[in-house]
């Protein structure tokens, strides 16, 4: 796809997505956004020709690489001098420790004294800076010439320098072996020659491990960017889902709820009516199974007889009511006669019962 073409679906979209993810700052651009803004897509593709994967311009990236190369070179030089300085300091510290425990030979004492004197004078010489103005005076009013007089003899310095090289090499070898055993504990039991061979390749091994760590770190960074993009996309999808759910609730749930309730009520009403009819049908079925035609005819005859008896009883009751009505016309006199009649009847019954009992005893 040419840089001047507009962004179209397909291969151009893939290229543009790669540009947005690597050469430009993190931005959440979807395919729809790029298709709706073709001129913006064209601008992004044009900018990608003048930028590297880090987002810098090609010229600035080249200058930055040169600057970093110069920094690494100066750093290497400084590290060499710093390592040598620290090794010499450790040699002096070891000498001080040994003087407390064992008796050193005259050569060892001479070596360490010459080394310490030379190191001290050199450091003091660096501290003395020639005054640039008349107002400033040298430190303690000492000149460089005054300090050079304290230097050890040249013969001792040459002898100390030759031995110092051996001591430094031995100290560095111990440190390299210590680093090797720390990196690979199984190498502790190896011979010195094998350790030296492994130390020779240790820098390359550490560089490879550093590159692997850097590669893993870059992958983690890319995954974090991808995770952020997916999180943003996931949030947008969730918002869309919530909007759809809200729309579904408002349009399809609330509006149709009343109609749905009415239909459900009609359904329940029809179902209830059907249940009542079914119960009535079961009741009639039970009655038809219980009462046959013969039983119905017998019940009809019984009912006719009972109705006839009821009519006779009603007629008798009506006659009794008429008699009672005629008696009620007499008033209180009739009530007195009724009571007297009742008393006489009771007395007669008692005497009749006594006579019967007497007759039983007599016979």
Convert the pLDDT of each residue in 13-67 to its tens digit: 555 555 555 555 555 666 677 677 777 777 777 777 777 766 677 788 888 889 9
Q: What does the block give as tokens for 5?
A: 């073409």
In this predicted structure, what is the pLDDT of residue 16?
A: 56
DSSP 8-class letter at 27: -
- pTM of the entire structure? 0.42
Residue 89 phi/psi, 5-degree rounding, is -65, -40
Report the mean per-residue pLDDT for the chain: 78
Range scoring the smallest mean pLDDT among 89-98, 125-134, 177-186, 260-269 = 125-134
For residue 137, give every residue at least 6 positions away whose Cβ sits within 8 Å of its Cβ, in sequence order, or none.
131
In this predicted structure, what is the pLDDT of residue 138?
A: 56
Share of the chain above pLDDT 90, in %: 11
Residue 270 has pLDDT above 90, yes or no: yes
273 pLDDT tier (thresholds 50, 70, 90): very high
More confident residue, 29 or 217: 217
Whether the CA torsion 222, 228, 230, 232 is positive or negative: it is negative
In this predicted structure, what is the pLDDT of residue 155?
A: 81
Range scoring the smallest mean pLDDT among 23-27, 242-246, 259-263 = 23-27
Residue bearing tokens 């560089």: 207
Complete DSSP assignment for 246-279: HHIIIIIIIHHHHHHHHHHHHHHHHHHHHHHHHH
- Mean pLDDT along residues 142-159: 74
Whether the CA torsion 145, 165, 186, 184 is positive or negative: it is positive
In this predicted structure, what is the pLDDT of residue 29?
A: 63
Share of the chain above pLDDT 70, in %: 79
Helix/strand/coil percent split, the chain, to 5: 85, 0, 15
User: CA angle, 84 as apex, 118 and 191 as ends, to 5°?
Assistant: 125
Range scoring the smallest mean pLDDT among 72-86, 155-169, 233-247, 269-283 = 155-169
In this predicted structure, what is the pLDDT of residue 28?
A: 60
Residue 315 has pLDDT above 60, yes or no: yes
Range scoring the smallest mean pLDDT among 2-6, 75-79, 178-182 = 2-6
In this predicted structure, what is the pLDDT of residue 140?
A: 60
4 pLDDT tier (thresholds 50, 70, 90): very low
Give the three-class secondary structure for 288: helix
Highest mean pLDDT among 266-280, 289-303, 309-323: 266-280
CA dist 12 and 193 (Å) reads 59
Is 142 exposed, middle or buried (CB count within 10 Å of its CB: 0-12, 13-18, 19+)? middle
Using alpha carbons, list the distances in angstroms from residue 165 to 9, 114, 195: 69, 14, 21
Is 293 exposed, middle or buried (CB count within 10 Å of its CB: 0-12, 13-18, 19+)? exposed
- Give pLDDT tens digits for 88-125: 888 888 777 777 767 777 787 788 888 888 888 777 77
Complete DSSP assignment for 107-167: HHHHHHHHHHHHHHHHHHHHH----SSSS---GGG--HHHHHTTSPPHHHHHHHHHHHHHH
330 pLDDT tier (thresholds 50, 70, 90): low
Residues 10, 35 contacting (CB under 8 angstroms): no
């Amino acid at each position: 796809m040419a840089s001047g073409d507009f962004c179209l679906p397909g291969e151009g979209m893939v290229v543009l997505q790669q540009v947005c993810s690597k050469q430009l700052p993190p931005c959440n651009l979807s395919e729809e956004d790029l298709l709706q803004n073709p001129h913006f897509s064209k601008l992004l593709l044009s900018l990608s020709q003048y930028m590297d994967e880090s987002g810098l311009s090609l010229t600035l990236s080249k200058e930055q690489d040169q600057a970093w190369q110069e920094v690494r070179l100066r750093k290497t030089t400084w590290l060499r001098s710093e390592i040598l300085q620290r090794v010499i300091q450790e040699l002096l510290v070891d000498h001080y420790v040994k003087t407390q425990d064992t008796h050193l030979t005259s050569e060892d004492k001479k070596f360490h004294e010459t080394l310490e004197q030379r190191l001290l004078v050199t450091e003091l010489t660096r501290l003395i800076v020639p005054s640039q103005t008349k107002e400033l005076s040298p430190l303690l009013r000492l000149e460089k010439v005054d300090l050079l007089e304290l230097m050890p003899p040249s013969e001792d310095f040459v002898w100390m320098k030759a031995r110092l090289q051996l001591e430094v090499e031995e100290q560095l070898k111990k440190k390299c072996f210590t680093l090797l055993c720390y990196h690979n504990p199984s190498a502790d039991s190896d011979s010195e020659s094998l350790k030296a061979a492994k130390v020779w390749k240790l820098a390359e091994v550490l560089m490879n491990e550093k590159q692997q760590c850097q590669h893993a770190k870059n992958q983690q960074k890319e995954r974090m960017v991808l995770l952020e993009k997916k999180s943003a996309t996931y949030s947008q999808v969730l918002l869309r889902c919530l909007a759809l759910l809200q729309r579904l609730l408002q349009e399809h749930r609330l509006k149709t709820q009343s109609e749905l309730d009415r239909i459900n009520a009609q359904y329940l009403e029809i179902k209830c009516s059907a249940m009542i009819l079914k119960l009535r049908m079961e009741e009639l079925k039970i009655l038809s199974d219980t009462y046959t035609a013969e039983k119905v005819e017998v019940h009809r005859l019984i009912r006719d007889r009972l109705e006839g008896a009821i009519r006779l009883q009603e007629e008798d009751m009506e006659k009794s009511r008429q008699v009672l009505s005629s008696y009620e016309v007499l008033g209180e006199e009739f009530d007195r006669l009724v009571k007297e009649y009742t008393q006489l009847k009771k007395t007669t019954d008692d005497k009749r019962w006594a006579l019967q009992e007497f007759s039983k005893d007599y016979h």
